[in-house]
Amino acid sequence: MSALAAPQRPAPDADLARLFGLTERLLPALRGEQGVGANGAALPEPAALDALCRHWRESYPEAGAHYWALRCWGLLIWQPIYLCVIAAQLDERVPRLAGLRQPLQGGFPRGLSLPAHRPPRGRTLDERIALAGDELRPLCAEGRTLLAPRVALHRAAAERLQAECVLGALLLVHEQRPQDLTLEALPVLAQRWLARLDIAGGCGLLAYRARDGTPRVALDRKVCCHHYRRHDGEKCSTCPLLPRPARLERLLAETD
């Protein structure tokens, strides 16, 4: 082989491909790719982080620093969190996140890529949650460090939004695969996940009944995302600034 020949890329891994396919079936917007991924700016590269923060500052200058910070933080972390939670809950393997790239387009991450590798196996759910925690804790810590010079991201708020992402992923699994994650199992499982990620208490679950009596659950959020400060925004149905009766009424209206 010539010394100038390009090095061979690792062959795609079948287990990682299965995890990407599983995640995309539950959430079509989250597409995974093995290898370096698409060309262009990708998170967490400095140029992409700068572009992400600039987009939200310039798009909604009236919303203020707290909105920009939490918006950028949520966009930076949600895809790897959902990937790991879905994998741990529904498969026997959990991906490693070293080398993660998230192509950035129009202020949003559009899918992700990981180097080809065989994800480690967890024989039990507790083992898989531990594997996911070992990947997500350093990833989120690094993300906070990278965003710190760019936006006013407070650690407590960041951890609470991270907890929302984790429980949001669990709710998605419950909604799409209720036979694999029952409503009754959600509260205890949510606590196990947050404890493993060292963000216990960052978000809770709000149980209620639809008008027809069907049991339902929503996020009991502990931090406001400040979306209502946008010129086109309003408080979310689960906004912690709303009294609980107002949140329940909005949730009921959404399910009518």
- Chunked into runs of 10 residues, the chain (256 residues) has average pLDDT values of 50 97 98 83 96 98 98 99 99 98 97 98 98 99 98 98 99 97 97 98 97 95 98 97 97 90
pLDDT at 114: 98
CA–CA gap between residue 202 and residue 81 (Å, rounded): 15
pLDDT at 38: 60
Kindly report the number of other CB atoms within 10 A of residue 104's CB atom. Answer: 22
**Locate tokens 């407590």: which residue?**
156
Question: Do 162 and 77 meet the contact criterion of CB atoms below 8 Å apart?
Answer: yes
Specify the DSSP element, H or E, that contains 22.
helix 14-26
Phi then psi for 114, rounded to 5 degrees?
-135, 150
- Pairing mode, if any, of strands 32-34 and 112-114? parallel
pTM: 0.95
- Distance CA(72)–CA(52), nearest Å, equals 7
Query: Cα–Cα distance between 239 and 253 in angstroms, integer?
Result: 15
DSSP for 143-159?
HHHHHTTTS---HHHHH
Q: How many CB atoms lie within 10 A of CB 14?
A: 8
N- to C-terminal Cα separation, the chain? 66
